Chain A
Amino acid sequence: MTLHATRRAQAMATVAAAALLLALPAGAQVDLGTEEQRAAGKVVYDKYCGQCHGDTGDGNGYATPRVKPKPRDFTTGTYKFRTTPNGMLPTDDDLRRVIEIGAPYTSMPGWPNLTSAEIQNVIYYIKSFSPDFENPDRYGEPIEIPRPLESTEESIARGRVVYEEQGCAACHGEVGRGDGPSAPTLVNDKGDPIKVADLTQRWTYRGGATKEDIYRTFSTGLNGTPMPSYADSLEIEDRQHLVNYVYSLGDGDEPNYGTLITAVYSEEPIDLQDGETLDALFEAAPTTRFPLVGQITEPGRNFFPSVTSIEAQAVYNRDEIAFRVRWHDLRADTSGRNSPSLEVPMWDEDNGIGDDAGDDGGDSDDFFGDFGGEEAPAEDDFFGDSGGDDFFGDGGDDFFGAADAGPPGAEFSDAVALQFPASLAPEGTPELKPYFLYGDSQNPVDLWFVNLTYGVADTFRGRGSESIEPTEADIVEAVTSYDQGEWTVTYKRRRSSRAGVSFAEQQYTPLAFSVWDGFNRERGNKRALSSWFYVYTEPSVQAATTFPIVRAAVIVLVLELLVVFLVRRRARQKAAGEEAAGTTLATTEAPAV
């Protein structure tokens, strides 16, 4: 073989190798790490991951019965957030992304404390749980994510057409609030109920909220869930338009949670029956969004509340004050019962998902011992529908039966409550408030409770979770409506009250919120709730703002002119004096600096 031939053969071999490398997808190399790397990954995993994902990676850790969505089962090789085609395994970078930033509004946090090497080792260890990672056929080439198209009106309009054509609304709802007709029926490949993304609350997107994240989700689907891939059915450009449309549905990048509602003053009467005028009144009032979390302090704990935030506004006139609250709910449950004090048995805290429903250590027995014998709450008797007996008798069986048959029935209705202190804190101790969980014996709270089955406001006085009594001291009116996945409840009460809190002008009044989603079997203390926030009644007469601004400008201007005038006069006097002395003005031009 000549030298030339050898060189050529070498070159050809290099080209062939390069071609082979190019032909293989970038992430296709089976890379399971070394024994040492997996061992190091196990140490990190056992400390930070096993409690949810299970020490054997089967998604069955200590926390599993009480979180929703369930922790990933690594033995199945099924992953939701990937850049690879539907059904394929994720790349290491896909896994790294979720470990680093987590999945918002789920129990998966980001792990910024882990080093890059630690994360890589954990990835190797996680991959060892599923034999799929040894199979080259399960690897797919990551998709390319193009730069987002400019979000023009045409693009959004085209996206809307795609949204309709592809039937997105069936799950995500007409305006994207996650309230499509199919939403209550959805389950993942393990049969666990799964919540549809509320497209209007981008900060809750579990796979990330950037346009690239949204594009990725359309293009690869979420394995193991009903969210399909549109890689085959939609052109790239249409997917980009759809991204722009979905993005346009969003209510901002961030929830911008606030701590205060400003109640604005109006001369107009507040008439709850006159929808248009009412809407116009609230149009002028700023909206504040407040975070809601599960009530997990008192028995009847709610580890996975459906509703994560509520928006609130307030207006007032000479005699009355009105509050409007809005939140998203995938279905209006308006046929069941509900009340702030409805009992919740211990097994229902985790919806009976844990197998230890009736055998939760020794303490659940204690719990039933303490509470099980009590009468059903008065409201049930009052309304006369499915009473407490029925509930304690076979409620659990019903539920377990229903879980297989389909979505849970509307045993419980949606509901909402505003909570105020029964009286304001005395002078000198402004921080003193009633216990934010339904008050305490010394400092009671008033609840403006609306069971959305009836749509009227009932008032309760709470002296702690075990002592919630109906009151009729004040008349609170309410109107309610459910539209496209959003509840709106508007309350009205006289500003002054003899029994409860009065709303004086320029007063900070503590308030807190509770929301019950009947679909999620929320009732009684199993609810979403907020900390104490405030409503501030803005002064009815706004101090003029123009005058102080103009005054400041004028004062500064006058001072300036005075200085200019004095300096010039002095210069003139000096010049006059010097002229008289026969010298020139040149001295002032001599640079003194």
Chain B
Amino acid sequence: MLGLNLPVVIVLAAIGGVLAWRRANTLTWLLYTWVALWAFFKYGFAVPIPQSVATIYLGITGLALVCFASSSRERLSETVQPIVRLILEPRYRLALAGLLVALPALAAYNVYADLNVPLEAPGFGREVHPPPPTEMTVHDETVDMATAENPYLHYKHDDPELYGEHLENGRRVYYENCFWCHGDGMGGDGMFAHGLNPVPSNFNDVGTLPILQSSFVHWRIAKGAPGLPGAGTPWDSMMPAWEKFLTTEEMWDVNLFIYDFNGYEPRALGQH
């Protein structure tokens, strides 16, 4: 819910509650504020937020806390009082020694962890829906990308029986050719998907089929990876140019089928 990791948020709030109840001193509150924020950024979100954003927030918060603590002479001395006592009073001698050892150890571990980040392959940005060409030629026919529509879509209302035949043919084409990558349920999770980079399109996703014209989908089917512009990293994609394997009718039929299966309509002409 809300993209938050609720148990973490509840635990942090509970700790705050305990501190209020025990009337914690200023220093504890300042430390709590910063550490709780750190924990919230690191563990509080269901989907992790970028490290750089968290670092900026924590930096600003740290500065604000320092400003707050040093805003007046009284507040400053009140804030550092527990530290001074820790250093001076003999009964805290053991705690002081522990802290003197623990902090350098923590710093050393941090550096060690930084040095041992496992290597990863370089990653690159990739445009998922790059702009299509203005026109293309499929099986000797010129397709105007701006105006082309699925020629069988209108049968849905005009001739439901014929529409059903085209759908069934599209179903055949899909399960003879497509589901290895795009998946039986079209979640982009077919049995080969784990070996591919970029991963196959997920047709269940509202960010895929409904925002595209059927001519765009036709372009992707007919021309596949080799027809992508450079921004779409054509060299990495496994999508075949289906014009090599399928007739034009088969390509429009499977286009029809993937929309129908997911209960989506192609984006209409001129619709933004």
Residues from 222 to 272 in B contacting A, C-beta threshold 8 Å: 224-226, 230, 233-236, 238-240, 244-247, 250, 261
Q: From A529, which residue of chain B is reached at the shortest CB distance?
A: B195
**Complex contact A560–B185 (CB within 8 A):** no
Which A residues lie at the B interface, using CB under 8 A? 47-48, 51-52, 61-63, 66, 105-107, 109, 111, 113, 257, 259-260, 262, 291-294, 296-299, 303, 361-363, 430-436, 440, 443, 508, 530-534, 536, 545, 548-557, 560-561, 563-564, 567-568, 571, 588-589, 592-593
**Complex contact B192–A293 (CB within 8 A):** yes
**Complex contact B235–A260 (CB within 8 A):** no
In the complex with contacts A536-B119, A548-B111, A296-B100 CB distance below 8 A: no
What are 15 of the A-B contact pairs (CB < 8 Å)? A51-B171, A62-B172, A63-B179, A107-B180, A107-B184, A109-B184, A293-B192, A433-B236, A435-B235, A440-B226, A443-B235, A508-B122, A531-B196, A533-B121, A552-B108
B97-137 contact mask (Cβ, 8 Å, vs A): 1 or 0: 00110011111101110010001111011100000000000
Given A52-B175, A298-B240, A434-B235: 20 more A-B contacts, CB < 8 Å: A62-B171, A63-B175, A106-B191, A109-B189, A109-B190, A259-B120, A291-B195, A293-B180, A296-B192, A363-B246, A532-B197, A549-B111, A549-B115, A552-B104, A553-B108, A555-B107, A557-B100, A564-B87, A567-B83, A568-B88
A294 to B108 CA separation, bound complex (whole angstroms): 47
Q: For residue B44, which residues in chain A have a CB less than 8 angstroms away from its CB?
A: none
**Complex contact A561–B121 (CB within 8 A):** no
Chain B contact-residue range equals 35 or more
**Complex contact A530–B78 (CB within 8 A):** no
**Complex contact B119–A260 (CB within 8 A):** yes
Nearest CB in chain A: distance from B189 CB, A: 7
A534 to B122 CA separation, bound complex (whole angstroms): 8
The reply on B82 being an interface residue by CB < 8 A is yes
Q: From A442, which residue of chain B is reached at the shortest CB distance?
A: B235
**Complex contact A432–B230 (CB within 8 A):** yes
**Complex contact A567–B246 (CB within 8 A):** no
Q: For residue B105, which residues in chain A have a CB less than 8 angstroms away from its CB?
A: 553
CB-contact partner of A436 in B81, B103, B185, B236, under 8 A: B236
CB-contact partner of B184 in A48, A260, A531, under 8 A: A48
**Complex contact A297–B240 (CB within 8 A):** yes
Q: From A46, which residue of chain B is reached at the shortest CB distance?
A: B171
Q: For residue B225, which residues in chain A have a CB less than 8 angstroms away from its CB?
A: 297, 435
CB-contact partner of B25 in A434, A549, A553, A593, under 8 A: A593
Nearest CB in chain A: distance from B226 CB, A: 7
A555 to B239 CA separation, bound complex (whole angstroms): 55
The CB with the most chain A CB atoms within 10 A, among B105, B171, B191, B230, is that of: B191
Which A-B residue pairs are the 7 nearest by beta carbons?
A431-B124, A293-B195, A291-B195, A51-B175, A553-B104, A293-B192, A259-B121
Q: For residue A292, which residues in chain B have a CB less than 8 angstroms away from its CB?
A: 195
CB-contact partner of B180 in A259, A296, A549, under 8 A: A296
CB-contact partner of B240 in A296, A536, A553, A567, under 8 A: A296
B46-87 contact mask (Cβ, 8 Å, vs A): 1 or 0: 000000000000000000000000000000011001111101
Residues from 187 to 216 in B contacting A, C-beta threshold 8 Å: 187, 189-192, 194-197
Q: For residue B224, which residues in chain A have a CB less than 8 angstroms away from its CB?
A: 297
**Complex contact A109–B238 (CB within 8 A):** no
The reply on B96 being an interface residue by CB < 8 A is yes
Q: From B239, which residue of chain A is reached at the shortest CB distance?
A: A297
Nearest CB in chain A: distance from B170 CB, A: 11
The CB with the most chain B CB atoms within 10 A, among A63, A362, A534, A551, is that of: A63
Nearest CB in chain A: distance from B70 CB, A: 16
